[in-house]
Structures are given as C-alpha cells and as structure tokens.
Amino acid sequence: MVRTLLIRGLLVGLVAGLLVFAVGKVVGEPQVDRAIAFETAMDQAKAQADMAKGMPGRQAEPELVSRKVQASFGLFTGVVVYSAAFGGLFALVFAFAYGRIGNLRPRAVSALLALGGFVALYLVPNLKYPANPPSVGEPETIGLRTGLYFSIMLISIVAMVLAAMAQRRLASRFDVWSATLLATAGYLIVITLADSMLPAINEVPDGFPAVLLWQFRMASLGMQAVMWATIGLLFGALTERAMESKFRLSAQGLVHPVVR
C-alpha cells in the first residue's frame, strides 16, 4: 500500500520535474544569464581599475562546467532530482496524513498537503531569505546563509506540523472553520517571531538591476508553484481514481475501501 503510494509519488514528482524544467528553461534561464553578464561586467570593470592602479589583474577562473551544460543537463538534473525526491517524500507524508487530518477524500488531502508544503518549505523561508541570482551573495558568508536558510525552513515545517495537530484538537471543540483559522494564526505568529529574531541578509551588490532581481525571484516562485501544484493535484487525482475502483467493489460488498 505504502509502496504503491511511494512509487506513485516518485513518478508524479518526475512529471512535475519535467514541467519545472520547462518553466525554468523558459522563464528562469534568461535571468540567470543576465545576472552572470552583470557579474562578468563587474569583474572586468574591477580588473581594469586594478590594472590602471598598477596592480596585477585577477585571472579569470577556469570554467569547470560550461554555461551550456549548466543551463541544460545541469538544470534538468537539478530540478528533476529535486522534484522526484519531493514527490516521494510527499507520498510518505500523505500515507501518514490520510485519514488522520479529518475525513477528507484523497484528492483533498493531497491538495492540502501540497499547499502546506509550498507555504512551509518554500514561500515562508523565501520571504525571509529570498532566492538570489548569480552575483548576489558573498562567498565568505555561504556557511551563515546556508545555516539560516535551513533554520527558517526547519522552524517553518515544525510550526506547520504543530499547527496541523492543533487544528485537529481544536476541531473537536470548535467547528472546523474556526479551528483552521486559529491554527493558521498560530503558525503565522511563530513565523513572524522567527522572522523578527533571525538576522536579515542583504548582499545585493550596488547597481544590480532591481527588475532583474524581481524577475529572477518570480521565476523561482513560479517553478515552485508549478512543482507543488503538479504533485498535489496529480497525486490526488491518481490516488482518488485508484480508490474509486475500491469503492465500487465495496458497494458490492466485496472489499472494504482502503487507500492505495
């Protein structure tokens, strides 16, 4: 049962990955290229200024992986592995959540989990530490930035799970609508507190085009929205369909409906 769900999750994640790659290629790559052009121009300007002052110019670093490979196979591998992995993890969470977050149909459970995943694992961490194009970010602070990014992600997902558990408790006392609003408010309070306590990071270099930064971040948001929407809706639809045949048998008294 769990095995079937897991395989379905991985396959749905794979499909999502192909769509994310298409969005990334069309919407994301032009912004990456522009950001790299900005970086190159800055480096050249700096090298020329150094030369004028009589200092030795910095040698350009050799390219380990060509831009062409980075923008095709590299991007493809990155987003497909990422999406398939999330598809699999999503299936495991679904296997646990189904029947435990209220009497909801599989497609509703799937859609809600995907919405929760998108908000907790991408939207909230990125409101605090947004995605950055090349040339934004000091190499020396990578340790700090990585630590902070995963910290807010961890706080966010733990708060989301606690909110979901609280919603269940509250739903037995109030109605589901009020319970959901209270749990959501609780999540937002935790996130607002974490947001105000964690340090801000701004490493956008002077002169970096604001429009390019916005477009890059919107491309990143779009890719994530496509991935979570595909996983949530496709996984839900397929699981629902697999269950409906069970329901038909169940109506004939042949088998008790279980999710698979």
Partner 1 sequence: MSDNTLTPDLAAAPIPVREVLPWVLFGALLLLALYFVGAEEGATSVIPGMYVHEFVHDGRHLLGFPCH
User: Out of 26, 189, 193, 258, which residue is the one contacting partner 1 (CB under 8 A)?
Assistant: 258
Q: Does 104 bind partner 1 (CB under 8 A)?
A: yes
CA angle 15/16/20 to nearest 5° reads 120
Q: Does 156 bind partner 1 (CB under 8 A)?
A: no
Residue 196 Cβ vs partner 1, minimum distance, rounded to whole Å? 21
Distance CA 16, CA 234 (A): 9
Token pair belonging to 212? 């390019």
Q: Does 146 bind partner 1 (CB under 8 A)?
A: yes
Q: Does 232 bind partner 1 (CB under 8 A)?
A: no
Name the nearest CA neighbour of 121 among 86, 162, 77, 166.
86
Interaction pattern, residues 82-101, with partner 1; x per rule: CB under 8 A: x-xxx-xx--x--xx-xxx-
Residue 57 Cβ vs partner 1, minimum distance, rounded to whole Å? 22
User: Out of 38, 119, 124, 125, which residue is the one contacting partner 1 (CB under 8 A)?
Assistant: 125
- Per the CB < 8 A criterion, the answer to whether 95 and 239 are in contact is no
Per CB under 8 A, the segment of 52-60, 155-163, 184-192, 245-253 that binds partner 1 is 245-253
Q: Does 77 bind partner 1 (CB under 8 A)?
A: yes
Q: How many residues bind partner 1 (CB under 8 A)?
A: 67
Name the nearest CA neighbour of 128 among 70, 201, 180.
201
- Per the CB < 8 A criterion, the answer to whether 213 and 204 are in contact is yes
- Report the C-alpha dihedral over residues 3, 95, 119, 199, rounded to 10 degrees: -80
3-class SS shares of the chain: helix, strand, coil, % to 5: 80, 0, 20
Residues 164-223 that bind partner 1 (CB under 8 A): 216, 219-220, 223
User: Out of 6, 16, 164, 231, which residue is the one contacting partner 1 (CB under 8 A)?
Assistant: 6
Q: Using CA of residue 157, residue 182, residue 221, residue 201, what is the dihedral sign?
A: negative
**Helix orientation angle between 176-197 and 142-173, rounded to the nearest 10 degrees:** 160
Q: Does 247 bind partner 1 (CB under 8 A)?
A: yes
User: Out of 24, 116, 117, 236, which residue is the one contacting partner 1 (CB under 8 A)?
Assistant: 24
> At 103, is the secondary structure helix, strand, or coil?
coil
User: Out of 15, 78, 162, 240, which residue is the one contacting partner 1 (CB under 8 A)?
Assistant: 78
Distance CA 83, CA 227 (A): 7
Residue 145 Cβ vs partner 1, minimum distance, rounded to whole Å? 4
Name the nearest CA neighbour of 7 among 107, 75, 95, 80.
95
Residues that bind partner 1 (CB under 8 A): 1-3, 6, 24, 28-29, 32, 64-65, 69-71, 73-75, 77-79, 81-82, 84-86, 88-89, 92, 95-96, 98-100, 102-105, 109, 122, 125-126, 129-134, 137, 139, 142-143, 145-147, 149-150, 216, 219-220, 223-224, 247, 250-251, 256-259
